[in-house]
Amino acid sequence: MHASAPSELLVYTIGLFVAVLLTATSFWAANTTLLWPGGVFLGLAVLAIAQMGIHLVFFLHITSGPESTNNVLALAFGVLIVIVVIAGTMWIVADMNTNMMMPSGAPMSMRMQH
C-alpha cells in the first residue's frame, strides 16, 4: 500500500481518537464504584497497555512490514527487559518484606540465620 498524505493524516487522527477514548475510559474506571477494587487495578493496567500499543502503531508507525523488522525485534527485547526489571524488582522486594516480618518475640539468633 502506498502511503499518501491524506491516508497518513487519517492514521494519526484515528490514533488520536482511540487514545482519547482509552484515556477517558481510564479516568472513568479510576472513579467508578461499579467495579470491585481489584477490577479497577486490572482494568487500568489493560487500558494503559492498550493505549501504549495504539501509540506504537498509529504514532510511531511500528508495523509488521519488512522495513520495521529490526524495530520490532528491538522493541520485543526492550519489552522483555522492562518486564524483567519491573516484575523482578517487585517480586524480590515483596519477598524480602515478608521475610523481614518475624514475630517480635523470636530470638535474635533465629533472625540472624535468615
Partner 1 sequence: MNIAVAIDQIPQDELPSASEAGPAPKRIVVAYGFWIFLLSDIIMFAALFASYAVLVRSTAGGPTGAQLFNQTTVAIETACLLVSSYTCGLMSLAINSRRYLRTYLGALITLVLGAMFLSLEIREFLGMIAIGAAPQRSAFLSAFFTLVGCHGLHVALGLIWLVVMMVQVAVFGFAARVQHRLLCFSLFWHALDIVWVGVFTVVYLMGVSS
Contact set with partner 1 (CB under 8 A): 5, 8-9, 12-13, 15-16, 19-20, 23, 26-27, 29-31, 37, 40-41, 44-45, 47-48, 51-52, 55-56, 59-60, 66-67, 70-71, 74-75, 77-78, 81-82, 85-86, 88-90, 93
C-beta of 96: minimal distance to partner 1 in Å?
Answer: 10
Q: Which runs of E-coded beta strand occur in 21-105? A: none
C-beta of 34: minimal distance to partner 1 in Å?
Answer: 12
**46 touches 35 (CB < 8 A):** no
Phi, psi of 32 (to 5 degrees): -80, 155
**14 touches 21 (CB < 8 A):** no
List CB contacts of 20: < 8 A, sequence separation 6 or more: none
C-beta of 45: minimal distance to partner 1 in Å?
Answer: 7
C-beta of 109: minimal distance to partner 1 in Å?
Answer: 29
List CB contacts of 48: < 8 A, sequence separation 6 or more: 26
CB closer to partner 1, 30 vs 102: 30
